[in-house]
Amino acid sequence: MPCGAPSLTKAPSVRLHRSLPGISRYRFELRCDTVVLEPIALRTERSRSNGSTSRTEDRIRARRAGTVMFVNVAVLKETQPHERRVALVPAVVARLVKLGARLHMQCGAGEAVALPDQAFQDVAFTANRRELLRDADVVLAIGPPALGAIDEMKAGAILISFIYEHNEPALVERLLERKITCFAMERVPRISRAQSMDALSSQSALTGYYGVQLGATHLNRVLPKITTAAGTIGPAKVLVMGLGVAGLEAIATAHRLGAVVEGYDVRPETAEQAASLGATFVDTGVDARGKGGYARELTADERLKVAAALTKHIAAADLIVTTAAIPGKASPKLISSGQAAGMKAGAVIVDLSAEGGGNCDDTVPGQTVRVGRITIVAPLNVPSLLGADASNLYAHNAFNLLALMLKDNIVTIDWSDEVLAKTMLTHAGAMHDDAANHKSAQTAVKVA
Ligand code: NAD
């Protein structure tokens, strides 16, 4: 319901006082128009067997019966500078409602991606952030929320968002203090079963695509071979460095646009992946496979060996897209100032690792700079620049994660589920590793 419209009719309030894990006895306390169960509110709807009845009719009937329960899911307007994405899109609303969620959003949360409040059916809107947070059992967000937002959440509530704990020590401290169960989207394990929840991948794929588009607009030449009566223009040479999700998408995009593409990574398995997308792999002879499919840092000797092998490929490229990253570390430097000075006049580097400091010595994160004869473009928060698609994919990722816990109008966290256990950042006042002990005693915890 858009802001300014009358608020939704709410069920009478029911307050649950938990006795023991497993909860066998309940004491209900009626309050005006709010339902809060500790540590998390659970709301069950008495009967929705007749699928033809409207939600309003259901609510009225349930209100009379006094037994309607839902899980309150709140979505805030993002507060980070330049963040345009929103964690909920209309396509996901009906699916969440079906699982028993009652949805609330902050007015204007989707405006930056052309989703006005009116586009969301079955969602209650309010301008009051405090109210949203106070009543929420689950808060969905994209970027790490402000400290004040965590203070407003009730103890035991669930937060699902990107956190990046190393950048947010104060926030993590507050999550622990407030006993928030936080699922950090960057922690979703990279396993087949979790692919539909893997927001790192969905956002990185968009980043890789956009990196090539951005580079193309800064080049003073075209990417494909073009033949005219006046003559033929040869295809541009594109070098992609770092072949994770973003790098492979960049290769695919540059190849589709007709460029001649090369790819380089320190994980040898990427050679076959690059080839399958139409790129030639630059083999530097260095194998720096790390743990869990990620790369490790190179030694000083390895860096010299790589630099020697790459210099001529860097010099030949019209466009370079860099995406190299090592989890928890600053971005590795792949292009020195000397190598950049040896590039063709008019060449462009798009550094997609600016968030971690960048892959080039001359990168200025968040800026586009002319360095000698070349241009280095280093955008921050690239998925936000494609906010509509990025929000859509993220909202589906978050829904798929929440769907593991939200069934029949109840949130149940099964800690024996690898995806939930590994994605959890904080729970019951403990950090992931410490919380693991707590969890092992309770394989299926009903958070209610
Ligand atoms: P990432 O963003 O952590 O890093 C990007 C790339 O940079 C990686 O390919 C890495 O090897 C490379 N890199 C690091 N240091 C480098 C250097 N000095 N020179 C060149 N390249 C360097 O990567 P990502 O996209 O998050 O993917 C990480 C891993 O997760 C990959 O193995 C990927 O295949 C895997 N993955 C698996 C799944 C799944 O199975 N569900 C989903 C997504 C990703």
CA dist 233 and 227 (Å) reads: 6
Q: State how far the alpha carbon of 231 is from the alpha carbons of 171, 221, 224, 228, 299, in Å.
A: 60, 15, 14, 5, 48
Q: CA torsion angle for 377, 382, 388, 393 (degrees, to 10)?
A: 140
CA dist 259 and 278 (Å) reads: 10
Total Cβ atoms within 10 A of residue 314: 24
Mean pLDDT of 371-394: 97
Task: Tell me the pLDDT tens digit for each residue of 9-45.
Answer: 444 334 443 433 333 333 333 333 433 333 343 333 3
Could you tell me if the CB of 241 is within 6 A of ligand 1?
A: yes
Asked if the model's pLDDT at residue 6 lies above 70, the reply is: no
Could you tell me if the CB of 298 is within 6 A of ligand 1?
A: yes
- pLDDT band at 114, cuts 50/70/90? very high
CA dist 341 and 320 (Å) reads: 14
Rounded percentage of the chain residues whose pLDDT exceeds 90: 77
Greatest C-alpha distance within the chain:
85
Q: At 153, list the tokens.
A: 């959440």
Task: Tell me the pLDDT tens digit for each residue of 229-270.
Answer: 999 999 999 999 999 999 999 999 999 999 999 999 999 999
Secondary structure of 118-133 in HEC code, one letter for each residue? HHCCCEEEECCHHHHH
Task: Tell me the pLDDT tens digit for each residue of 401-427.
Answer: 999 999 877 899 999 999 999 999 999
| Ligand 1 probe mutation, 304, 323, 339, 353, most atoms within 8 A of CB | 323
Could you tell me if the CB of 333 is within 6 A of ligand 1?
A: no
Mean pLDDT of 332-357: 97
Q: How far is the CA of 330 from the centre of ligand 1 (A)?
A: 14
Amino acid at 152: E
Supply the DSSP string of 411-446, one letter for each residue: EEEETTSHHHHHHEEEETTEEHHHHHHHHHT-SEEE
Asked if the model's pLDDT at residue 66 lies above 80, the reply is: no
* Coil, strand or helix at 282: coil
Q: What is the pLDDT of residue 43?
A: 37
Task: Tell me the pLDDT tens digit for each residue of 36-48.
Answer: 333 343 333 333 3
CA dist 266 and 332 (Å) reads: 11
Could you tell me if the CB of 273 is within 6 A of ligand 1?
A: no
Q: How far is the CA of 177 from the centre of ligand 1 (A)?
A: 34
The answer to whether 249 touches 208, Cβ cutoff 8 Å, is yes
Q: At 137, list the tokens.
A: 């059992």
Active site residues: 190, 195, 198, 201, 294
Asked if the model's pLDDT at residue 160 lies above 60, the reply is: yes
| Residues 6 or more apart whose Cβ sits within 8 Å of residue 371 | 337, 340, 341, 362
Total Cβ atoms within 10 A of residue 343: 21
| Ligand 1 probe mutation, 243, 294, 334, 400, most atoms within 8 A of CB | 294
Measured in residues, the chain has a length of: 448
CA dist 270 and 199 (Å) reads: 21
Could you tell me if the CB of 263 is within 6 A of ligand 1?
A: no
Secondary structure of 346-414 in HEC code, one letter for each residue? CCEEEECCHHHCCCECCCCCCCEEEECCEEEECCCCHHHHCHHHHHHHHHHHHHHHHCCCEECCEEEEE
Asked if the model's pLDDT at residue 365 lies above 60, the reply is: yes
Cα 261 to the center of its chain, rounded Å: 28
Mean pLDDT of 206-210: 98
Structure-token match 């400091």, residue found: 357
Q: At 324, list the tokens.
A: 């190299």
Nearest Cα residue to atom 8 of ligand 1: 244
Task: Give the chain's mean pLDDT.
Answer: 86
Nearest Cα residue to atom 35 of ligand 1: 293
Nearest Cα residue to atom 37 of ligand 1: 190
Nearest Cα residue to atom 16 of ligand 1: 324
| Residues 6 or more apart whose Cβ sits within 8 Å of residue 414 | 404, 405, 420, 443, 444, 445
* Coil, strand or helix at 228: strand
Is 19 or 148 the better-scoring residue by pLDDT? 148
Structure-token match 């300014």, residue found: 4
295 DSSP assignment = B
